[in-house]
Amino acid sequence: MQAPLVVGIDLGGSHVTAAVVDAAGTVWARAKRDIDRHKPAAALLGDDVASTVRDAVQQAGLSLREIVSIGMGLPGNIDRARGVCRFSPNFGWRDVEVAKPLEQVLEVPVYLLNDVRSHTLGELHFGAGKGVASFVMLALGTGIGGGIVIGGRLLEGSHSGGGELGHITVEPDGPACGCGSHGCVEALGAAPALARAGREAVAAGKAPGLAALAGSPEAIQGSTITQAAQAGDVGSLEVLAQVGRYVGIAVASVITTLDPDLVLIGGGVAAAGDLLLEPLRAEVGRRCRMIPEGATPIRRAALLEEAGVMGAAALALEACGHLPAALEHCVHAPSAAL
């Protein structure tokens, strides 16, 4: 055991996961439950999320008194100093208190960060970004999130919006995006866009392998397309290549802006591996002409399914001074409230 012990919480649109993690990044126990994201925030946090934390702590054979701090990653724009979610389209939240309802029932300080910025911290401390001075992370899932580390520091930006790479425009007149803009890479490269392109390929008779595997168009998901592509379905391979090209356009813009040491691609869609990454790298090669071709490695992130909780645990460990800080950790409500 490497004290101290913290809890990392990954709050997503359909479920919440909590894990007890020590300072070496070892997961002691984890718990997960489905959630209803339309439930009032105070009840969702005070009941469902808090119970998941208690379950994980209990499974580790510990009590909450032995947990020094809690980190939580959630989708949206976060005011870390106040422990408030300013805006989350996924939950329909605007200026919602998130840290306080949890602290009131758990009596442990809670620190918040945007989910993919949190994944990025996890990769920095425990994953593929360890020892890398500057890297960029994109997580391709239900949406596309991002995070940027420059000189060992996580970029937050003036309005906590630094690293929102999913909202880089890749098609000026492209489909509407959840952010209110059009043609963002998220609208063309996240899992729903992948599924839509898969259904179109099936409807056009171009993906018989996918049609057979899914059974019905409604059953087509990103994972089904990856599976069909791995089995050689040409239409599914083309759908993944198209997504790779769109993400490649965004990655090329980021590389051109920052010239980072490394680009990491995570999230569920990245499970397609080189079927996605090869067309992505080729697109980057076509567009990044100011640095030597292939000079920036583009790899899969390392933490995979654990990225959410490990990132949140890294945040908690940083906040209590047990990992080198990649961002300023404000002393917020917990120390005053507890």
Instruction: Confirm or reject binding of residue 181 to Zn ion (CB under 5 A).
Output: yes
Encoded one letter per residue, x for contact with Zn ion by CB under 5 A and - for no contact, window 152-171 reads ---------------x----
CA distance 210 to 201: 9
The window from 79-87, 148-156, 181-189, 218-226 that contacts Zn ion (CB under 5 A) reads 181-189
Closest distance between Zn ion and the C-beta of residue 68, in Å? Answer: 37
Q: Least distance (Å) from Zn ion to the CB of residue 42?
A: 29
Question: How far is C-alpha 214 from the geometric centre of its chain's CA atoms?
Answer: 27
**In angstroms, what is the minimal distance from the CB of 77 to Zn ion?**
13
Q: By CB under 5 A, tell whether 137 contacts Zn ion.
A: no
Give the residue with the Cβ less far from Zn ion, 181 or 230.
Answer: 181
Residue of 98, 144, 170, 177 that binds Zn ion (CB under 5 A): 177
Phi, psi of 272 (to 5 degrees): -70, -10
CA within 13 Å, CB half, 338: 20
Per-residue mark of binding to Zn ion, 184-203 (x: CB under 5 A): x-------------------
Q: Stretches 28-36, 119-127, 174-182, 209-217: which one binds Zn ion (CB under 5 A)?
A: 174-182
Judged by CB, which is closer to Zn ion: 52, or 88?
88
Nearer to Zn ion, 111 or 246 (CB): 246
Q: Residue holding tokens 């995979």?
A: 304
Task: Choose between 59 and 181: whose C-beta lies nearer to Zn ion.
Answer: 181
Closer residue to Zn ion (CB): 176 or 330 = 176
179 interacts with Zn ion by CB under 5 A: yes
Minimum distance between the CB of residue 178 and Zn ion, rounded to whole angstroms? 6
161 versus 215: smaller Cβ distance to Zn ion: 161
How many residues contact Zn ion, by CB under 5 A?
5
The footprint of Zn ion (CB under 5 A) covers 167, 177, 179, 181, 184
